[in-house]
Chains A and B, each alone.
Chain A
Amino acid sequence: MRQPDQSTQVGTLAVEVQNVTKNYGTFTALKDINLGIKDNEFFTMLGPSGCGKTTLLRSIAGFESISKGDLLLYGENIADLPPNKRPVNTVFQQYALFPHMNVTSNVMFGLERLGHSATDAKRRAREVLAMVQLTQFADRLPSQLSGGQQQRVALARALAPNPKVLLLDEPLSALDLKLRQSVRVELQQLQHETGITFVFVTHDQEEALTMSDRIAVMSNGQVQQVGTPVEIYEHPVNRFVADFIGDTNIIDVTVTKTTGQSATCRLPDGSTLLCEANDGAAEGTGHISIRPERIRLCNPGTGQLDGRIKSRVYLGTDLNVHVTLKDGTDVKARIQNTDGIDIPNVGEPVDLRLEASGTRLLVD
C-alpha cells in the first residue's frame, strides 16, 4: 500500500474530502468541507490567509489531525494514517530541504525509507533531477543553491517516490516575481509529464487562474466555489468570490423579476438591466457585480448610468477611470489604451454602459 502505483483509471477521484471539520480549541479552521479532487488534475485551493487552505492541505498530508469527517485517497480512507504511511508527498512553503544533506541525498531520502536499494534510489534521483534540470547540482548542499534551485530540489524530492498525489504549499511565494512566472509554466508542464494529481495551495489569484484545471475558492474555513478558472472569474457564485477574484464593482440594485438564470434589475438611476443571476436569486434589494473592463464610457445621454469623472489613473496598457454616480456610488472602469481614446477630464459628466453578459446578480 505504501508503494504508490500508476494503475488508476481516468475519471476516478484522487482525493475525497468528506464532511471534514477541524477545530483548534474553540476556533474552527475547517467547517464541514466536501471536495472531490479528480485524478490527474491540477487542483488549486485559493483564499486569503487564514481561510483554512493550508490546514486542509496539511490534513491531507497528515500533519494535522481532523476533528470530524473522512479523507479518502483513491477510495481508501487515510484519515487515521500517520504522514509516513500516506502515499502523498509535499512541497513545503519553505522547501524544508535537509540542510545537512546534499541534493542527491535529499532526493533519495524518501526512496530509501520506502526500502529501495541505494543504487535504485540513486538512479531514480538522477532521473528526477534531470527532469527539473538540476543534474549538475547533484552534489551541492541546499545552502549553496539559489532560491529557485532550492524550490526545484524540493519538487524533485517530493516527486521521486512517485506519489499518488503531490501537495504543494505555496511553493512559489518565496521566489521573486520574474522567477515565479517562469516556474508556473514549468510546474504545469511537469504535471502533464508525470500525470500526477497536483493539489496546490496559494493566496495568489493570478497563480491560481493561470495554472489550474480547477480551483476551490475558500474563506472562513469553508469552500465558497469550485470551478474552472473561467467559471470562477466569469460566474462567481457569491459576493466573496466576485470580490476576491479580480477587480469588480458591486452596485446596489432592486430586483424586479427573476426568470431562471437571469434577472431584471433596476439600477440606482431608475434604468433597468437584464443580467445573469445565481440560483436562489430573489426579488427585492440585491447587488450586481460587474468587472471594470466590462464597463464602457459614452457621451452623456447615451448610456445607462450617468455620473461625473472623479479621477483617471494611467496604467500604461490601460486607464483606470473612477466615476461617481448621481447617488454617490463610485464605479471603476478599465479602458484599454488604444488609439484615439477620448476620456473627459475630471469633473466632466460621462455616461456608463454595462455589458449585460458581464453583469451578474449575486447572492450574498
Chain B
Amino acid sequence: MAGPQLKSTDTDNSNYAGLGPWLLLPSWLVIGFFLVLPVGLMLIYSFLTKEFRGGVVWDFSPAAYDQFFFDRGLFGDSAPTIELTYISIFWRSIWQAAVATILCLLIGFPTAWFIATKTGSNRTIWLFLITIPYWVNLLIRTISMKFLIRDNGPLNELLLSIGLISEPIHMINTNFAVQLGLFYSYLPFMVLPIYASVERYNFALSEAAADLYATKWVTLTKIILPVVKPGVIAGCILVFVPSLGAFLAPDLLGGAKNFMIGSLIEEQFKGNAGNWPFGAAASMILLSMVLVILTIYARQQVKAGDR
C-alpha cells in the first residue's frame, strides 16, 4: 500500500493528560479492594488461631507457621525438631514443577521454532492449532487426560491390543500421572512466548554464523538461544509458576496420596482439615516463593533492557 511510512519521533502520548488517575480509579478500586486487601487479610489470618470447622478466632498466634516448620511431638511438649511433612510437600511441588518446565521446554522450543520458520498460511494454521488447547478449559483437559490413562482406559486398551504390553500399566494416582498432567496442562504456555521471540529473530544472524564456519549446533547454542532467551525465560515462568500452585492435576490425576501445595491448601478450606490459619500460612509461603521468582525475573529484564 502507498502512504506514509515514516515513524513519528516527536508525537507524544499525552492526549488525555491529567486524566490518568481518574481513568485508573476503577482499576485501583477493584483490584485494591478485592485483591490487595484480601491478600493483606490473608496474611493477618495466617497469624490467627484456628476455629474448628473453618474460620478463625481473633487471637494472635504463630501456630500456623510453627505447625508448618516444626514438630513438637504429639502433645506439643517435646523439643522442637524440623517438621518434614509440609516442607517435603513444598519440595515435591517445586521438583515436579521444575521437571514439568524442563519437559515443556524440550518439546516446546523445537515446536515454537518449527512454527516460526514456517511461512504464510502454513504458519497460521500451526499457530492456530497450538492456540486452541491454550484456551480450552483446563478442567476438561485434565479430565480428558484422566480418562485416557485410566487402568482400563483407551491408552492401555490400545497398548494391549497391539501386544506391546500384556497387562494394563497402572498410571492413574501416581506421581507419574501428576507429572504428565502438569506437562500436558502447561505445554501451550511454553510454546507461545518462545514462538513470539523466535518470530522476531533475525535469520541473518544464523547466516552470519554459518558463514563464519559455525555448525548448526554451535549456531543454536551460541547464537540463537542467547538471542531468544527472553522468550524462553518467559515460557519457563509461565509453566513453572502455575505448576507450583496447581490443584487440578494433583487432585484428579494424583489422587489423595500425591499432595502438592495446591491440594494441601485446598484441603484446609474445602476439605476435612478445616485449618484456615494454616491454609493462609501455606498460601503466604507459596506467594512469597512466586514473588521472589518474579522479582528475579523482573531484575533480569531490567538488566537486559539496559544493555
Contact = CB atoms under 8 A, between A and B. Distances in A.
Query: Does A touch B (CB under 8 Å) in the complex?
Result: yes
A54 B2 contact: no
A262 to B, nearest CB: 42
Contacts of B10: 54-55, 58
B5 A174 contact: yes
Contact of B12 (A49, A63, A150, A173): A63
A150 B6 contact: no
Interface string B10-31: 1110000000000000000000
Given A63-B12, A64-B12, A174 B6 contact: yes
B8 interface: yes
B6 A93 contact: yes
Interface string A133-151: 0000000001101110010
A173 B8 CA distance: 12
A173 B7 CA distance: 11
Contacts of A54: 10
Contacts of A174: 3-6
Nearest to A171: B4
A25 to B, nearest CB: 13
B12 A93 contact: no
B4 A95 contact: yes
Contacts of A55: 10
Contact of A147 (B4, B9, B11): B4
Interface in A333-348: none
B2 A146 contact: yes
B4 A94 contact: yes
Interface in A88-143: 93-95, 142-143
Contacts of A146: 2-3
B6 A94 contact: yes
Interface residues of B, number: 11
Interface string B135-158: 000000000000000000000000
A54 B6 CA distance: 15
B212 interface: no
Interface residues of A, number: 17
Interface in A48-77: 49, 54-55, 58, 63-64
Contacts of A63: 11-12
B146 to A, nearest CB: 49
B1 interface: yes
Contact of A150 (B4, B8, B9): B4
B289 to A, nearest CB: 39
User: What is the interface of chain A mostly: helix, strand, loop, or mixed?
Assistant: loop
A67 B290 CA distance: 46
Given A58-B10, A63-B12, A93 B1 contact: no
B131 to A, nearest CB: 27
A173 B2 contact: no
Contacts of B2: 145-147, 150
A305 to B, nearest CB: 43
Contacts of B12: 63-64
A55 B8 CA distance: 13
Contact of B3 (A49, A58, A64, A147): A147
A54 B11 CA distance: 10
A52 to B, nearest CB: 10
B5 A93 contact: no
Query: Which of B1, B3, B5 lies at the interface centre, i.e. has the most chain A CB atoms within 10 A of its CB?
Result: B3
A114 B8 CA distance: 28
B1 A94 contact: no
Nearest to B14: A63
A64 B10 CA distance: 10
Contacts of A150: 2-4
A49 B11 CA distance: 14
Interface in A309-325: none
In the complex, which of the residues B1, B10, B11, B12 has the most CB atoms of chain A within 10 Å of its own CB atom?
B10
A173 B3 contact: no
A49 B8 CA distance: 12
A111 B80 CA distance: 82
Contacts of A143: 1, 3
A142 to B, nearest CB: 8
A63 B4 CA distance: 21
Nearest to A143: B1
A173 B1 contact: no
Interface in A135-170: 142-143, 145-147, 150
Interface in B77-93: none
Contacts of B1: 143
Contacts of A173: 6
A64 B12 CA distance: 9
Given A63-B12, A145-B2, 5 more contacts: A49-B9, A64-B12, A94-B4, A147-B3, A150-B2
9 contacts: A54-B10, A55-B10, A58-B10, A63-B12, A94-B4, A143-B3, A147-B4, A150-B3, A174-B4
Instruction: Kindly list the 10 A-B residue pairs having the minimum CB-CB distance in the complex, ordered from nearest.
Output: A174-B4, A94-B4, A147-B2, A146-B2, A54-B10, A147-B3, A174-B6, A150-B3, A95-B4, A94-B8
